[in-house]
Every structure is written in structure tokens, then in C-alpha cells.
């Protein structure tokens, strides 16, 4: 939770800039200080000057095939790295980027959007400059709706302070910000040394103490407490604190589909993904029967709740997040999420005796391929689960690729990426590029439907250019599977591509046409051995075939209806 404007705050003051700094140079200096070592985007004339400064700096420019893909990639980079950035030109670039930024906003990813703009001198007389639409402020006005701050650096007297303000808000709120630079202000310098004021909000000690006392009493007397760990635990770097609290008091942990891999799914206290009727029965029953559900940094979205098939009782909640703290029906204000988490972890108290069931998922029968059998979703996800290792990251697109992957077991923190709330198609392939930009040693296993691949699959070109080696698995059922279950119609059909032939077009990579389980074995063996380039598997599935997770959800929805 962020502190209110009435909270006391500590502040330290440091000199971060001087008249020798230009606006552009100072922004780059601050990006590097935050750990932004790579920036995604596409150049254009209004941003070329800033690209020149980036080229001369230690920040690596990652050019993508289009601005939307750059946004998805920068969002994924932020999820892996803690903060990310994307740099585009005015309107034709920025407005192409909006959907990806909206997803980052919805799912709390700290993404810094940097856009060029016409110079202030060019605007005199209100000319119809290229790329302009409506007023000169149109792009800024649009981004105000999907960021926590949107600023135009048009005045050297305020520009340095505005850069600090925006970047601090991105880190504090874990959401995107928008910074627009008129091209004739890029080299403008401050007229006096810039003094950066750093504010440290603090919790109201009385509210914090009362909240902790109430929470501790509930946990100590609970027969079946359970932690539901949300994505903010990861975004705020609170995984170790949460895990220490759980281990100290032997409290099992669940994640949501959005926060999957918030901790290692091999941890002995990890119970599984809670997602209402879409989840495993033992997980659903344990969570829904809990007399003390400790929700930490969780989003209560329809996806998190299994399309509202969840049965959670707020009267048994301890709900703590960046934005709110609620215990049963009591609401606490001016308490920081990090302080509340730290207080829980530090607390020592006796608990009632309780029985904790085995935490691990039921072990499926070991996968044995039937070489002549046609591929199914169930068998595909079972096989993928067996090939995963600690050096792999699962990157999912929306639809049954995401639902099916919820049953996979990941090894380490942040080894599962997917847009599980905003659910925008096309996230996975650009995100896979970002994974290896951020952490080259990791190998993405990309699960993407054929419809989503046709939106952004051209980003394999960037993977090829950079020598990356993702394994892309296209679930090819010739259309939009999840939409078919809502309303069947020819509008769900798409033109079938020969996805496995893309390496011939790109001049590198390996492609495999997969119809049977034998084909899958051969393809995976070759793909895993191919460490020098990407591999793409065109996995043919029946149009009516769905993953076990989606089958559970549809069954649960039918019972609910």
C-alpha cells in the first residue's frame, strides 16, 4: 500500500544533476541507475536524437518488428528485471504501443515509455506536421489513461524534477509512466544544479501495530491457514519475506495463475495454483475451506477467481496489497505493504496444532510416447512438464496455452510469464525475446496458440537477429479455441500457416511439423539440442481438443449455470 499524502515521511537529498547535464543525458543516467541496461523500440525522426544518445551510452537498443511487440517485450523485461523501458517516435509509434502499455498497467509492471515529439519551435503557428493527429497533446492525453504519470519535458526548469517524479512513481506503484521529449529540448541544459529529493514514506506506527496484532491473533488460532501469494509479492521483492513467514509457522502457500512461479513450485510448502473451478480439486478445497486465508499482493480478478467459480469468504480474509489492507471487515490506512509483510515475518507466536496435507501435486503417470497416436493437448502439456528444467522459463500466450500451462511445475522464481489478467493475445513471442535479453542464460519454452502467433510471431526475426534459442510450440487448431466454447462461428477460423517453414523464410532456426506423439519426441530431441537458434514446433490439434485445465473450468461453469 502506498502511504497517503498525510503520512510522515523521511527524506534525503542528493545532488543528481548539474548544468552540464542535458535533459536527454540525465534521463539516460537515471535509467542506468535503475538497472535499465536494455531498451526496446523502433526509431523515427522525432526520437532519432535520443536514439543517438542511447547508442553512445551503455544502454543496448533492441529493435523490434513493430511498436506493439516492443511494448510486450519491454513489459516482460520489466517482469524479469524489475523495470523496463520502450522508446518510440511520436503518435505513429506511441499510439501503436498503447495496448501493450495498458497490459503493463493492468498487471502492475513498471514500464517506462519514452516518446519523441515535434520541437516546441516547430509548433509555432499550429502547423499540420507529419504524424500529428488532433492537438499536439493527443498522445500524452491517451497515455494519461494507462500510466500513473504522463509528462512532456518542454521546460528545462522543470524537466529534471519531472523525470525524477515519473521514475519514482513507476517504482513505487509498479506501473507504467510516460515521458515525452520534444526534439528541440533533448540537448537543453539546466540553468542550475538539480537537487533530487528522495522521499521515503513510512507507515503510521499505531495503525501498523494494530493491524499486526489482529492478523497475528487470527493466524495463531487458525486451524487451516493458507497463503494466497499474488504478483505484488514478486513485484515488490517480498518473496523471501513471505517464504520466511510461511516456513516459520508452517503455512502452505498457493499462487494465482497471474502470480504462478512467485516461489519455486518445488518448495515443500507449495500447494499449487488456486484458480477456482479451473484448478485442482485438492487445492481448491484446501483454500476454500481455510479459516484464515492470507491474501498477499493478490488481484481478485475474474481470471484469478476461475471466471468467478471461486468460493472465498471475505470474513476469513487477511488481505494485504500495495493499495489496501483489510482484515475481515476492518480496513487499515497508512500501512505500507512492505512494513506489514516484514512485521508478519518478524512475529513470534504459538500456533494451534494442525495437520498439513502433502503439498505436492499428484504425480502423473510417467509420459511414455505412443509414436503413432495423434497429439492431444493433455499429452502435449504432460510431455512439456517432463522436459522443464531449472534453466527454462515458460512463456505463455492467452487462451488454452495459458490455461494448460497452469498445471506445469516450474523450478524457480519468475520462471512463468503470461498476461493472465489483461489477456491480450500476442504477448508470448515478443516476451520470449525479452527473457533472453534480460537473462541470456535462460531458455524460453514458448506456448502460443496459432491465432496469437499470427499477431506477433514475426518477432522471431528479432530472436534470429540476436542469436537467441527459444523453443516455440504453436498449438495449431486453426482458430480461436476458447472463443469457440463461448460462441461457435466461422469468425473463429483462421487461415492455416505452415509455421514450421518459417526458418526457411528467416534464414535460420529449425522447424518441425508435429502430428503424432512420435513426431513430438523427434522434434523436442532436435530442438533441445539446437542451442544456436530458435526452434518452432507446429503442433496439430483437433479443433475440439482442450487442455485438462480448460476442461475443468468448462465443467465448473456448467455446474454453476
What is the reported pLDDT for 535?
98
Identify the segments of the chain with pLDDT beneath 50: 1-17, 560-561
In sequence order, the 6+-apart residues with CB closer than 8 A to the CB of 194 are 15, 16, 17, 18, 21, 26, 160, 161
Tallying the residues shown for the chain, one arrives at: 561
Contact 451, 480 (CB under 8 A): yes
pLDDT in tens, 263-315: 888 899 999 998 877 778 888 899 999 999 999 999 877 777 766 677 888 88
Cell numbers for 530, please give them. Answer: 539446437
Residue 446 CA to residue 416 CA, distance in Å, equals 10
What is the reported pLDDT for 1?
38
Phi–psi pair at 375, nearest 5 degrees: -65, 145
140: three-class secondary structure by DSSP = helix
Pairing of strands 38-41, 270-273: unpaired
Element (H, E) at 180: strand 177-182
Topology, domain 214-346: Rossmann fold (3.40.50)
Contact 349, 15 (CB under 8 A): no
Element (H, E) at 272: strand 270-273
Contact 462, 433 (CB under 8 A): yes
Q: Which residues pair with 294 in a beta bridge?
A: 227, 318
Nearest Cα to Cα of residue 191 among 154, 156, 152: 156
CATH code that applies to domain 9-201: 3.40.50.970
pTM of the shown model: 0.92
Q: Give me the residue spans of the domains in the chain.
A: 9-201, 214-346, 377-550
What is the reported pLDDT for 116?
97
Q: How many CB atoms lie within 10 A of CB 157?
A: 10
Residue 251 CA to residue 248 CA, distance in Å, equals 8
Residue 276 CA to residue 219 CA, distance in Å, equals 23
* CATH label, 377-550, candidates 3.40.366.10, 3.30.43.10, 3.30.365.10, 3.40.50.970: 3.40.50.970
- Indicate if 377-550 has the same CATH topology as 9-201: yes
Residue 319 CA to residue 316 CA, distance in Å, equals 10
Pairing of strands 38-41, 60-63: parallel
What is the reported pLDDT for 415?
87
C-alpha to C-alpha distances, 254 to 269, 362, 365, 396, nearest whole angstrom: 9, 15, 24, 20
Residue 512 CA to residue 534 CA, distance in Å, equals 12
Residue 393 CA to residue 512 CA, distance in Å, equals 21
Amino acid at each position: 500500500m502506498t502511504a497517503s499524502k498525510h503520512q510522515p515521511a523521511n527524506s534525503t537529498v542528493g545532488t543528481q544533476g548539474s548544468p552540464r547535464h542535458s535533459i536527454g543525458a540525465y534521463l539516460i543516467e537515471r535509467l542506468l541507475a535503475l538497472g535499465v541496461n536494455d531498451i526496446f523500440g523502433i526509431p523515427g525522426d522525432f526520437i532519432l536524437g535520443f536514439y543517438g544518445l542511447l547508442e553512445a551510452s551503455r544502454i543496448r537498443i533492441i529493435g523490434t518488428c513493430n511498436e506493439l511487440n516492443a511494448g510486450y517485450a519491454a513489459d516482460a523485461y520489466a517482469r524479469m528485471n524489475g523495470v523496463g523501458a520502450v522508446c518510440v517516435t511520436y503518435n505513429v509509434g506511441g499510439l501503436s504501443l498503447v495496448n501493450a502499455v495498458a497490459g503493463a498497467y493492468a498487471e502492475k509492471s513498471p514500464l517506462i515509455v519514452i516518446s519523441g515529439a515535434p520541437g516546441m519551435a516547430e509548433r509555432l503557428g499550429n502547423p499540420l506536421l507529419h504524424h500529428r493527429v488532433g492537438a499536439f497533446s493527443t498522445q500524452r492525453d491517451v497515455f494519461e489513461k494507462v500510466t500513473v504519470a504522463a509528462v512532456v519535458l518542454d521546460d528545462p526548469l522543470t524537466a529534471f524534477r519531472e523525470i525524477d517524479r515519473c521514475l519514482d512513481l513507476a517504482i513505487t506503484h509498479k506501473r507504467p509512466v510516460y515521458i515525452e521529449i520534444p526534439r528541440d529540448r533533448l540537448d537543453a541544459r539546466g540553468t542550475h544544479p538539480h537537487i533530487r529529493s528522495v522521499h521515503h514514506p513510512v507507515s503510521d506506527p499505531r495503525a501498523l501495530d494494530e493491524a499486526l496484532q489482529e492478523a497475528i491473533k487470527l493466524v495463531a488460532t487458525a486451524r487451516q491457514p493458507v497463503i494466497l501469494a499474488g504478483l505484488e509479492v514478486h513485484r515488490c521483492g517480498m518473496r523471501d519475506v513471505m517464504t520466511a513467514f510461511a516456513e516459520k509457522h508452517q503455512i502452505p502457500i498457493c499462487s494465482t495463475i497471474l502470480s504462478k512461479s512467485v516461489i519455486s513450485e518445488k518448495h515443500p510448502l507449495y500447494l499449487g495454483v488456486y484458480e477456482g473451478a479451473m484448478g485442482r480439486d485438492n487445492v481448491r478445497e484446501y483454500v476454500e475451506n481455510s479459516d484464515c486465508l492470507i491474501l498477499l499482493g493478490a488481484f481478485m480478478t475474474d481470471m484469478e477467481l476461475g471466471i468467478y467459480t471461486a468460493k472465498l469468504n471475505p470474513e476469513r480474509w487477511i488481505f494485504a496489497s500495495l493499495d489496501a489492507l483489510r482484515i475481515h471487515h476492518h480496513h487499515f490506512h497508512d500501512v505500507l505493504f512492505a512494513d506489514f509483510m516484514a512485521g508478519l515475518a518478524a512475529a513470534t507466536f504459538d500456533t494451534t496444532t494442525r495437520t498439513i496435507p502433502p503439498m505436492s501435486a499428484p504425480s502423473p503417470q510417467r509420459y511414455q510416447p505412443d509414436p503413432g497416436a495423434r497429439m492431444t493437448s493433455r499429452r502435449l502439456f504432460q510431455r512439456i512438464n517432463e522436459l522443464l528444467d531449472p534453466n527454462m522459463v515458460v512463456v505463455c500466450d492467452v487462451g488454452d496455452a495459458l490455461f494448460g500451462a497452469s498445471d506445469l511445475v516450474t523450478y524457480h522464481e519468475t520462471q512463468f510469464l503470461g498476461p493472465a489478467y489483461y489477456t491480450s493475445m500476442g504477448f508470448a513471442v515478443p516476451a520470449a525475446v525479452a527473457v533472453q535479453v534480460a537473462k541470456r542464460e535462460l531458455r524460453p519454452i514458448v506456448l502460443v496458440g496459432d491465432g496469437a502467433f499470427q499477431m506477433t510471431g514475426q518477432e522471431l526475426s528479432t530472436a534470429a537477429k540476436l542469436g537467441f534459442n527459444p523453443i516455440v510450440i504453436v498449438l495449431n487448431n486453426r482458430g480461436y479455441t476458447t472463443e469457440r466454447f463461448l460462441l461457435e462461428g466461422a469468425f473463429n477460423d483462421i487461415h492455416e500457416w505452415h509455421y514450421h517453414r518459417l526458418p526457411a523464410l528467416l534464414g535460420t532456426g529449425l522447424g518441425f511439423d508435429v502430428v503424432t506423439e512420435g513426431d513430438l519426441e523427434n522434434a523436442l530431441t532436435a530442438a533441445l539440442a539446437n542451442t544456436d537458434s530458435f526452434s518452432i514446433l507446429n503442433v496439430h490439434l483437433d479443433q475440439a481438443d482442450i487442455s485438462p485445465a480448460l476442461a475443468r473450468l468448462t465443467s465448473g461453469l456448467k455446474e454453476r449455470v
